[in-house]
């Protein structure tokens, strides 16, 4: 049953109603976690449609992740507004690029480069720069930063100097030259990169008034969720879409800015009213998501953000609305394997008590942490899914590394200690003893390889005779124990991919200095971004929150850890976690077979149910391009075929 406009408004509180009942005109919602920002804009769109202010296909709702876009489409369908375009900036731009490229540039839009690394390496070689892998990866991240910040090879050096950037310790004028060579090489190869999708689309809109007019004729109103994390090129694209009209509504929470390391900035959110002076601004403070106990913990994190100098506008304390629940707990474990095992057994016990697995999440700082958790959950026979990333053993870098290890295992005379052997082989896959200085995908890849090193060390500790063949067999066994993709399992997610989402039960693992904040976060700004990540993690839980940390962790050798500094203020609020699980060493019980869970096949990026056989085959809907991280030429080609099939529909919406 489609709700009436009045029914839509009745589901909101007075401030949220202010957002929804004014479906036109510039609007800025600046509000804390769990206060119903996403709910308010979803109802605003549904209200605009239900009251006939606009047609569903005239709305472009931009969200931060493909999964959030999928969730928004589902919510809108439920509110009687199917057909609204809810997309990421990237997906929306890619549609337009494919559609307008032939007309404005000619031919078909080129392939997208899955990874910058090889082209950056070639550019460096042309400049006769002798660089190691971590330096090359830092440069790839720097190229990305420059491009999303709308910097060209000409303007880069000045801006980079002003921002105090020192990628790979290389002089910024040299980096500027590298940027130019990188761009030239791409043109030679006839490919574009991930950022080009946004840049070229913006360029087409700016240069071709007819195209801009067509897009503006299609979309009459724009809504942007998680606006605190937009970067310069996304903001430029939005401005071009909106044109000289002002039908744009943005919502965000500066206290949740977690992508500034890649060039995002909350300035666009905080400066919205100077750009659109007539804008209505709304603040929401009632938190509907979490128990008062969890809200109180979130508020201490906000206070700490304030002491560290965050803008007061972003730090309005949250007011809890829900009934009381259990106290959040803090648990200490001897090492990260024990932490994973005990989290898995606590989850198993909860599921046995009737909590649906899909209402439980385990959140962590780096994707590398998921290996231990995946193994522990598989061993405990708990179904799980990995959100926003591939399963550990499906990750490209892990698959490549396993191939290398297997090759070496055949050749090796099985004499050097396993740990050293594994390190030698994995160096060939991009592992280095020191973590890379760069963040983002680069760091995640390193973490994955480091997790393999840890697995090798663990195997060597339990079986001193083990050599590469045993390691390869151990990895194969772990990989085969992984569960088939399902959305009914426990969610494993990095903090970055968890934003905007919520679960009844949240385990936030790895709350130790070195992981959260991560060791590479140097300087007050980087530490504050880590604190905001911690805030995002804490505010995902509806009812139960368990924080945990491990006293030692394998990071290129066993390192001892102390609890995260972010816990300092929280100790008074936190209860001590019950240590339920018996301590059994690895190999003490046989590894259980994975539980089979059947259900609808869903897009592994946005989670919507897949209908066509072609989509099911690639496990992705046609609306979702492969993520930067996991894109390979192969999957890209399959996906492009799907897009091509769909392109016979004569519109880009």
Please, which residues have CB within 8 angstroms of residue 384's CB and are 6 or more apart in sequence?
A: 357, 362, 373, 374, 377, 378, 483, 489, 490, 491, 492
Angle (CA) 578-579-583 rounded to 5° is 170
Smallest distance from the beta carbon of 314 to ligand ATP, in angstroms?
12
Our CB check for ligand ATP shows the closer of 33 and 120 to be 33
**Burial per residue of 71-104, b for 16 or more beta-carbon CB atoms within 10 angstroms, e otherwise:** bbbbbbeebbbeebbbbbbbbbbbbbbbbbbeeb
Our CB check for Mg ion shows the closer of 38 and 287 to be 38
Q: How far is CA 138 from CA 175, 437, 441, 519, in A?
A: 11, 6, 10, 16
* Tokens of residue 551, six digits: 């006293």
Residue 504 binds ligand ATP, judged by CB under 6 A: no
Q: Are 108 and 190 in contact (CB under 8 A)?
A: no
Q: Are 28 and 272 in contact (CB under 8 A)?
A: yes
Instruction: Check the annotation: does 190 bind a ligand.
Output: no
Contact of residue 608 among Mg ion, ligand ATP, none (CB under 5-8 Å per partner type): none
Contact of residue 289 among Mg ion, ligand ATP, none (CB under 5-8 Å per partner type): ligand ATP
Instruction: Check the annotation: does 31 bind a ligand.
Output: yes
The dihedral formed by the CA atoms of 396, 402, 407 and 413, expressed in degrees to the nearest 10: 150
Smallest distance from the beta carbon of 45 to ligand ATP, in angstroms?
13
Residue 196 binds ligand ATP, judged by CB under 6 A: no
Distance, in Å, from the CA atom of 454 to the CA atom of 196, rounded to the nearest integer, reads 37
Smallest distance from the beta carbon of 148 to Mg ion, in angstroms?
22
Q: What is the CA radius of gyration of the chain?
A: 25
Smallest distance from the beta carbon of 38 to ligand ATP, in angstroms?
3
Smallest distance from the beta carbon of 296 to Mg ion, in angstroms?
21
Smallest distance from the beta carbon of 42 to ligand ATP, in angstroms?
8
User: Among 83, 99, 89, 1, which Cα is nearest to 48's?
Assistant: 83
Binding span for ligand ATP by CB under 6 A among 11-19, 295-303, 338-346, 435-443? 11-19
Using CB under 6 A as the binding rule, the residues of this chain from 522 to 541 that contact ligand ATP are 539
**Burial per residue of 295-325, b for 16 or more beta-carbon CB atoms within 10 angstroms, e otherwise:** bbbbbbbbebbeeeebeeebbbebebbbeeb
Instruction: Check the annotation: does 34 bind a ligand.
Output: yes
Interface characters, 30-49, with Mg ion (x: CB under 5 A): -------xx-----------
The phi-psi region of residue 548 (left if phi > 0; otherwise alpha if psi is between -120 and 50; otherwise beta) is beta
Residue 564 binds Mg ion, judged by CB under 5 A: no
Distance, in Å, from the CA atom of 418 to the CA atom of 408, rounded to the nearest integer, reads 12
Contact of residue 39 among ligand ATP, Mg ion, none (CB under 5-8 Å per partner type): ligand ATP
User: Among 87, 373, 369, which Cα is nearest to 237's?
Assistant: 87
* Tokens of residue 77, six digits: 């369908």
Listed as own residue / partner, the contacts of 166-171 with beta carbons closer than 8 Å and 24 or more positions apart are: 167/138, 167/139, 167/141, 167/142, 167/438, 168/131, 168/134, 168/135, 168/136, 168/138, 168/139, 168/142, 168/437, 169/135, 170/129, 170/135, 170/139
User: Among 546, 533, 534, which Cα is nearest to 503's?
Assistant: 546
Smallest distance from the beta carbon of 70 to ligand ATP, in angstroms?
15
Near ligand ATP by CB under 6 A: residue from 3, 5, 34, 134: 34
Binding span for ligand ATP by CB under 6 A among 8-16, 19-27, 188-196, 265-273? 8-16
Contact of residue 33 among Mg ion, ligand ATP, none (CB under 5-8 Å per partner type): ligand ATP
Report the DSSP beta bridge partners of residue 111. Answer: 191
Residue 37 binds ligand ATP, judged by CB under 6 A: yes
Our CB check for Mg ion shows the closer of 32 and 623 to be 32
Q: Are 429 and 449 in contact (CB under 8 A)?
A: yes
Our CB check for ligand ATP shows the closer of 287 and 605 to be 287
Contact of residue 67 among ligand ATP, Mg ion, none (CB under 5-8 Å per partner type): none
Contact of residue 569 among Mg ion, ligand ATP, none (CB under 5-8 Å per partner type): none
H helices present in 481-598, as ranges: 524-538
Instruction: Check the annotation: does 33 bind a ligand.
Output: yes
Tokens 């000289």, located at residue:
244
Interface characters, 341-380, with ligand ATP (x: CB under 6 A): ----------------------------------------
DSSP letters for 258-311: --GGGTB-THHHHTHHHHSTT-EEEEE-EE-SS-HHHHHHHHHHHHHHHHTT--
Our CB check for Mg ion shows the closer of 72 and 610 to be 72
Residue 395 binds ligand ATP, judged by CB under 6 A: no
The phi-psi region of residue 90 (left if phi > 0; otherwise alpha if psi is between -120 and 50; otherwise beta) is alpha
Smallest distance from the beta carbon of 280 to ligand ATP, in angstroms?
18
Angle (CA) 113-116-122 rounded to 5° is 110
Residue 288 binds ligand ATP, judged by CB under 6 A: yes
Binding span for ligand ATP by CB under 6 A among 27-35, 73-81, 239-247, 300-308? 27-35
Interface characters, 473-502, with ligand ATP (x: CB under 6 A): ---------------------------x-x
* Tokens of residue 362, six digits: 């385990």
Residue 33 binds ligand ATP, judged by CB under 6 A: yes
Tokens 């006839």, located at residue:
190
Smallest distance from the beta carbon of 49 to ligand ATP, in angstroms?
18
Instruction: Check the annotation: does 35 bind a ligand.
Output: yes
* Tokens of residue 24, six digits: 């036109």
Contact of residue 16 among Mg ion, ligand ATP, none (CB under 5-8 Å per partner type): ligand ATP
Dihedral angle sign, alpha carbons of residues 81, 87, 93, 94: negative
Q: Are 254 and 314 in contact (CB under 8 A)?
A: yes
Near Mg ion by CB under 5 A: residue from 383, 500, 537, 563: 500
**Residue-level length of the chain:** 653
Binding span for ligand ATP by CB under 6 A among 29-37, 203-211, 274-282, 557-565? 29-37
Our CB check for Mg ion shows the closer of 38 and 448 to be 38
Smallest distance from the beta carbon of 354 to ligand ATP, in angstroms?
20
Near ligand ATP by CB under 6 A: residue from 186, 236, 289, 437: 289
Applying CB under 5 A, what is the total number of residues that bind Mg ion?
A: 3
Residue 38 binds ligand ATP, judged by CB under 6 A: yes
Footprint on this chain of Mg ion (rule: CB under 5 A)? 37-38, 500
Binding residues: 31-38
Footprint on this chain of ligand ATP (rule: CB under 6 A)? 12-13, 16, 31, 33-39, 253, 256, 288-289, 500, 502, 539
Binding residues for ATP: 31-38
């Amino acid at each position: 049953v489609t709700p009436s406009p009045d029914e839509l408004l009745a589901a909101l509180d007075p401030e949220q109603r202010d957002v929804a009942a004014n479906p036109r005109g510039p609007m800025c919602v600046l509000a804390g976690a769990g206060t119903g920002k996403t709910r308010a804009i979803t109802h605003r769109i549904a209200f605009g449609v239900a009251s006939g202010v606009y047609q569903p296909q005239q709305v472009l709702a931009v969200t931060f992740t493909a999964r959030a876009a999928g969730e928004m489409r589902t919510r809108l369908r439920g509110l009687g507004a199917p057909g609204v375009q809810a997309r990421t900036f990237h997906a929306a731009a890619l549609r337009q690029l494919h559609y307008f490229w032939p007309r404005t540039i000619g031919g078909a839009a080129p392939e997208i480069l899955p990874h910058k690394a090889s082209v950056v390496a070639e550019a460096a070689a042309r400049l006769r720069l002798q660089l190691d892998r971590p330096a090359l990866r830092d440069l790839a991240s720097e190229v990305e930063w420059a491009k999303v910040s709308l910097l060209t090879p000409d303007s880069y050096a000045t801006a980079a100097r002003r921002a105090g950037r020192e990628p790979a310790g290389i002089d910024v004028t040299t980096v500027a030259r590298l940027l130019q060579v990188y761009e030239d090489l791409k043109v030679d190869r006839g490919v574009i990169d991930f950022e080009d999708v946004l840049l070229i689309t913006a360029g087409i809109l700016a240069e071709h008034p007819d195209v801009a007019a067509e897009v503006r004729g299609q979309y009459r109103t724009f809504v942007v969720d998680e606006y605190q994390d937009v970067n310069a090129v996304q903001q430029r694209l939005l401005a071009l879409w909106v044109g000289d009209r002002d039908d744009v509504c943005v919502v965000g929470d500066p206290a949740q800015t977690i992508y500034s390391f890649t060039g995002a900035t909350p300035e666009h959110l905080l400066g919205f009213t100077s750009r659109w002076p007539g804008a209505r601004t709304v603040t929401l403070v009632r938190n509907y998501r979490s128990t008062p106990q969890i809200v109180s913990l979130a508020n201490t994190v906000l206070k700490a953000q304030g002491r560290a100098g965050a803008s007061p506008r972003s730090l309005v304390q949250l007011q809890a609305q829900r009934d009381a629940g259990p106290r959040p707990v803090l648990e200490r474990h001897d090492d990260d394997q024990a932490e994973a095992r005990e989290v898995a057994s606590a989850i198993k016990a909860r599921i046995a008590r009737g909590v649906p697995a899909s209402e439980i999440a385990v959140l962590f700082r780096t994707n590398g942490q998921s290996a231990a958790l995946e193994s522990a959950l598989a061993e405990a026979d708990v179904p799980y899914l990995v959100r926003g990333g591939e399963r550990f053993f499906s990750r490209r870098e892990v698959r490549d590394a396993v191939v290398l290890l297997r090759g070496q295992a055949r050749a090796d005379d099985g004499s050097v200690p396993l740990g050293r052997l594994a390190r030698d082989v994995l160096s060939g896959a991009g592992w280095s003893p020191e973590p890379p200085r760069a963040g983002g995908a680069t760091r995640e890849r390193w973490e994955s390889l480091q997790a393999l090193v840890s697995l090798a060390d663990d195997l060597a500790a339990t079986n001193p005779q083990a050599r590469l063949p045993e390691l390869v067999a151990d990895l194969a066994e772990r990989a085969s124990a992984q569960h088939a993709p399902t959305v009914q399992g426990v969610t494993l997610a990095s903090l970055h991919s968890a934003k905007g989402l919520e679960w009844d039960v949240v385990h936030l693992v790895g709350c130790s200095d070195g992981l959260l904040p991560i060791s590479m976060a140097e300087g007050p700004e980087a530490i504050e971004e880590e604190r905001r990540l911690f805030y995002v993690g804490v505010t995902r839980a509806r009812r139960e929150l368990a924080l945990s940390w491990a006293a030692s962790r394998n990071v290129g050798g066993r390192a001892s850890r102390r609890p995260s500094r972010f816990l300092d203020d929280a100790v008074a609020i936190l209860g001590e976690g019950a240590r339920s699980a018996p301590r059994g060493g690895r190999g003490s019980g046989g590894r259980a077979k994975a539980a089979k869970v059947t259900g609808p096949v869903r897009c592994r990026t946005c989670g919507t149910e897949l209908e066509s056989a072609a989509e099911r085959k690639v496990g992705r809907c046609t609306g979702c391009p492969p993520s930067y991280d996991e894109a390979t030429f192969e999957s890209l080609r399959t996906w492009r075929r799907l897009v091509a099939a769909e392109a016979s529909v004569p519109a880009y919406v």
